[in-house]
């Protein structure tokens, strides 16, 4: 066996693999964690907050149920059983979901952004790691879910560095990872695809970028950069970014205009594969598609994976990686 689904609650364990009619897990850019859904036939008694654990034989050298092979680990939110068909629908999330269910009271983050975020989340008892993000933060947040603060800091990281970040999960360890840094890079050929579309979108495009620096509620510096050609072709769309005290607004405005002023080339594909080494694929991964004479790089912005009869079916929304 190279794939397994386990239910656990305290000392109780049930292997659900043989009664699992459908299983899929999904992720999206700017979401704190992946979600999962299962359809089970004649399932054992299952409780809310019981754990769903999914394993794929990514590492052939270790037993299947070793945590190195674990694809998913997280709580059941709501098991729903049909009294007539005896089928049970299960929905759940990775453990990062709890960051959305716990609030912090007006936290103050001041210092290197990655270090401050790591210390803040760890103070809530979560095994959380974050690299240095390359900018400083000085911000008093309103009382709110921890997850919203995490996502806000990662959005600020994009605004200040031009890079997207996401929260990767390995069982109960959460780690902030820069998009496109996965060590295994899938290459999907046309023969593996069952669907493929291409488009260009201006949804995330800005033709004007203004960077402002504030101190004590007073605007002390403002720099605006414009892409005249893009304004003429696409229209005026302005993004406003607040710089921290020690940052150069001109530098930020220049690099963000370059990043944001071109329409995004997008692609939606559905692929089939049997490679367990790719079972961790999720939003934030770099993937490649094999074109006629070259390989094209893409970032996964949304993914949905299902598994059945030894085969993974993955639907992905992709954004072109320059």
Q: Render pLDDT for 288-317 as a digit per residue (tens, 0 to 9).
A: 999 888 899 999 999 999 999 899 999 999
Res 292: pLDDT: 83
Statement: residue 245 has pLDDT above 80? no
Instruction: Classify burial at 97, counting beta carbons within 10 Å of its beta carbon; exposed 0-12, middle 13-18, buried 19 or more.
Output: middle
| β pairing state of 187-188 and 208-215 | unpaired
Q: Give me the phi and psi of 117, to 5 degrees please.
A: -65, -45
Mean pLDDT of the chain, nearest integer:
93
Statement: residue 87 has pLDDT above 90? yes
As a whole number of Å, the CA-based R_g of the chain is 22
Q: Render pLDDT for 259-272 as a digit per residue (tens, 0 to 9).
A: 899 898 999 999 99
Q: Write down the domain spans for the chain.
A: 3-93, 99-178, 187-201+264-320, 208-260
CA distance readout (Å), 76 to 66, 73, 256 = 21, 10, 40
Distance, CA of 311 to chain centre: 23
Q: Give me the phi and psi of 191, to 5 degrees please.
A: -65, -20
Q: Render pLDDT for 201-223 as a digit per residue (tens, 0 to 9).
A: 998 899 999 999 988 889 999 99
Res 55: pLDDT: 96
3-state DSSP assignment of residue 253:
helix
Q: Does residue 73 contact residue 51 with C-beta atoms inside 8 Å?
A: yes
> In whole angstroms, what is the distance from residue 177 CA to residue 131 CA?
8
3-state DSSP assignment of residue 63:
coil
CA distance readout (Å), 314 to 92, 103, 170, 175 = 19, 34, 20, 24
List CB contacts of 83: < 8 A, sequence separation 6 or more: none
> In whole angstroms, what is the distance from residue 217 CA to residue 234 CA?
33
Res 164: pLDDT: 93
> In whole angstroms, what is the distance from residue 208 CA to residue 240 CA?
9
CA distance readout (Å), 143 to 77, 106, 140, 154, 292 = 24, 5, 10, 18, 53
Q: Render pLDDT for 13-63 as a digit per residue (tens, 0 to 9).
A: 999 999 999 999 999 998 999 999 999 999 998 999 999 999 999 988 999
> In whole angstroms, what is the distance from residue 252 CA to residue 244 CA?
11
25-40 as b/e, with b when 16 or more CB fall inside 10 Å? bbbbbebbbbbbbbeb
3.40.390, 3.55.50, 3.40.50, 3.10.290: which CATH number matches 99-178?
A: 3.55.50
Q: Does residue 306 contact residue 229 with C-beta atoms inside 8 Å?
A: no
* Tokens found for residue 167: 């929260």
State if pTM tops 0.85: yes
Res 205: pLDDT: 93
Q: Render pLDDT for 50-75 as a digit per residue (tens, 0 to 9).
A: 999 999 999 889 999 999 999 999 99
Q: How would you classify residue 147: left for phi > 0, otherwise alpha for psi between -120 and 50, otherwise beta?
A: alpha
> In whole angstroms, what is the distance from residue 66 CA to residue 60 CA?
10
> In whole angstroms, what is the distance from residue 1 CA to residue 25 CA?
20
Q: Does residue 169 contact residue 128 with C-beta atoms inside 8 Å?
A: no
Q: Can you tell me the mean pLDDT for 110-117?
A: 96
Query: Which of 170, 177, 169 shows the shortest CA–CA distance to 131?
Result: 177
Q: Can you tell me the mean pLDDT for 105-128?
A: 95
Question: What single-letter DSSP state applies at residue 97?
Answer: G
């Amino acid at each position: 066996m190279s794939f397994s689904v386990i239910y656990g609650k305290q000392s109780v364990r049930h292997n659900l693999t043989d009664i699992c009619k459908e299983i899929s897990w999904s992720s999206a850019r700017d979401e704190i964690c992946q979600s999962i859904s299962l359809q089970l036939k004649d399932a054992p008694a299952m409780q809310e907050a019981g754990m769903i654990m999914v394993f794929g034989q990514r590492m052939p050298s270790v037993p299947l149920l070793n945590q190195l092979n674990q694809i998913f680990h997280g709580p059941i939110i709501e098991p729903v059983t049909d009294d007539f068909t005896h089928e049970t629908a299960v929905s759940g999330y990775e453990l990062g979901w709890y960051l959305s269910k716990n609030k912090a009271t007006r936290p103050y983050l001041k210092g290197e952004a990655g270090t401050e975020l790591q210390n803040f989340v760890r103070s809530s008892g979560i095994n959380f790691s974050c690299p240095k993000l390359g900018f400083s933060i000085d911000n008093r947040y309103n009382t709110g879910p921890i997850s919203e603060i995490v996502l806000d800091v990662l959005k600020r990281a994009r605004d200040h560095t031009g890079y997207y970040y996401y929260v990767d999960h390995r069982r109960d360890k959460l780690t902030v990872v820069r998009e496109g840094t996965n060590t295994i890079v899938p290459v999907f050929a046309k023969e593996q695809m069952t669907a493929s579309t291409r488009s260009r979108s201006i949804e995330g495009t800005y033709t004007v970028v203004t960077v402002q620096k504030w101190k004590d509620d007073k605007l002390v510096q403002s720099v605006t950069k414009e892409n005249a050609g893009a304004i003429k072709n696409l229209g005026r769309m302005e993004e406003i970014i607040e710089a921290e005290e020690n940052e150069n607004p001109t530098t930020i405005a220049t690099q963000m205009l370059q990043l944001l002023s071109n329409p995004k080339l997008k692609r939606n594909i559905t692929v089939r594969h049997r490679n367990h080494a790719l079972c961790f694929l999720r939003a934030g991964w770099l993937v490649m598609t094999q074109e006629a004479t070259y390989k094209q790089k893409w970032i996964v912005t949304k993914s949905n994976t299902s598994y059945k009869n030894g085969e993974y079916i993955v639907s992905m929304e992709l954004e072109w990686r320059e």
